[in-house]
Chain A
């Protein structure tokens, strides 16, 4: 089979993983609504000028339709506050933020209780499409720390977005201290967008020419649909299917997104992109801490759980070996084989039309089954 046929198939797969554009719109409305709430005059956080920025796959344009129909979409945002780390303890900030969100949920008639996570609060929306929003409170990082990040080779434009986050597991969670966990979700998002935008240019120009957007700056990242973003969607879906029964062991999206972005080298079609990414992505894992650093805050390790739970690293490697193999064999498949394989690996049902450019062999050849093995000698079977 020629490569073009595989490209078409993979494009069809990603198309069917995409979510309706209206979901992105809805996500954006949610963030605005929370921002308005936090900035209203009665808000206990208003004096810290809360700044709400979307995060995660909805921001990067790498959302994948969940494999379970009842599954919820994950929305993420970051709420950055202008205050000093020694104004409040991590716990005080977290609780204050939680109170505001509770009031928000109540004012908006949201029935499920607010859920506390180690670093963020989770709001459950019950619409016809279920969402939950993980909202991360944080404090803009102090200049000395930003400087230290710059000294590690991160451009100032990205480093300046570093924040201090609260974490229930942190030793200083309950005490006043300058020592908080450093994170940089907005820096990462910016880094991702900078790397991706270059490859989005042709599509951005086309969208503007088609009068869908006024200028290229107006096109949101989820409309970019670069081979990188689409490869990440494909890889996440393969992961979802492989770890359907054991989602707690699955490689996390941030690791896949981070490594894929490093590994992408501008391939023009989805097949070259995803196979290239897979062949290189492992080389961006460090042998020691930080194993998978945030490129805009190198002390933040997306694989921080690997050291405590080596199973997570092992499962990443197992997934990586398997996805590499699954992609490599696609071009050897017949139409029926492709149909089966796409269902099995991505849980996507291709239409007749989408498969039409792949041929089945005209004659069922009496080909050998599996690899041919000549056995010169072998252990004799035994039993206890």
Chain B
């Protein structure tokens, strides 16, 4: 069925079946919109289990998965200063990481459980004055560089930046330069697989990303 592909990809029934207070609303423009409450009981290693509820508006654009879902917290609980995008949408993570996660499993349930619930869970802990279980990125480009570098094992911003540089260079050139990990070897003899793999994915991401 033509109008069905987005719904099928999202396996929408599975999501509303598990998060029963999240409801589909009529679509005026082809985007799929869910409104309601996400109730959850979440835990992560090293962090306490916690139950909470948030009022949510979740919009999945027609061009999903090229364009990412847009999520708003509508209960007025999460302040602007917390991680948010324009028009107060929640910034759930670096776009590249979200894109990878969706590419691996585009179902809405996966997105809710892997991205939205962790974000809300982290906020609940943060609100209670506790540490954020998954950390947070610096705002702006710096955060994106850190995140990409981290995928290759960087633990500090300088190393991360060096990895990002290697990813952005052409393979032949990058391979001749010293490996960002600091081993003293050239990249071609050290982390070349990881860097080259990520380069391919990252370029795919740049080409697919909705403008």
Query: In the bound complex, do residue B3 and residue A380 qualify as a contact, i.e. CB atoms below 8 Å apart?
Result: no
Query: In the bound complex, do residue A379 and residue B28 qualify as a contact, i.e. CB atoms below 8 Å apart?
Result: no
Cα distance A378–B132 when bound, in Å? Answer: 11
Query: In the bound complex, do residue A371 and residue B19 qualify as a contact, i.e. CB atoms below 8 Å apart?
Result: yes
Cα distance A325–B18 when bound, in Å? Answer: 10
Query: In the bound complex, do residue A329 and residue B20 qualify as a contact, i.e. CB atoms below 8 Å apart?
Result: yes
Chain B residues within an 8 Å CB radius of A377: 134
Chain A residues within an 8 Å CB radius of B42: 372-375
Cα distance A316–B86 when bound, in Å? Answer: 32
Closest to A313 in B: B3
Q: Does A285 contact B (CB under 8 A)?
A: yes
Chain A residues within an 8 Å CB radius of B39: 369-371
Query: In the bound complex, do residue A383 and residue B139 qualify as a contact, i.e. CB atoms below 8 Å apart?
Result: yes
What 0/1 pattern do residues 135 to 149 of B give for CB contact below 8 A with A?
111111001100100
Chain A interface size, under 10 / 10 to 19 / 20 to 34 / 35 or more: 35 or more
Query: In the bound complex, do residue A311 and residue B97 qualify as a contact, i.e. CB atoms below 8 Å apart?
Result: no
Query: In the bound complex, do residue B98 and residue A371 qualify as a contact, i.e. CB atoms below 8 Å apart?
Result: no
Chain B residues within an 8 Å CB radius of A350: none
Partner of B84, one of A243, A375, A383: A383
Nearest-neighbour CB distance to chain B for A113, whole angstroms, equals: 32
Known: A313-B1, A380-B137. A318 touches B24 (CB 8 A): yes
Query: In the bound complex, do residue B134 and residue A380 qualify as a contact, i.e. CB atoms below 8 Å apart?
Result: yes
Of the stretches B111-119, B159-167, B170-178, B181-189, the one at the interface is B111-119
Query: In the bound complex, do residue A373 and residue B41 qualify as a contact, i.e. CB atoms below 8 Å apart?
Result: yes
Chain B residues within an 8 Å CB radius of A376: 44-45
A residues with a Cβ closer than 8 A to B are: 242-243, 245-246, 249-250, 285, 287, 306, 310-311, 313-319, 321-322, 324-325, 328-329, 368-384
Q: Please give 14 more A-B residue pairs, beta carbons under 8 A apart, in addition to A314-B3, A383-B143.
A: A250-B26, A318-B24, A318-B26, A318-B27, A368-B41, A369-B53, A378-B93, A379-B101, A379-B118, A381-B93, A382-B138, A383-B82, A384-B86, A384-B140
Interface pairs A-B: 9 shortest CB-CB:
A379-B93, A370-B39, A378-B118, A381-B83, A313-B3, A368-B41, A369-B51, A382-B137, A383-B139
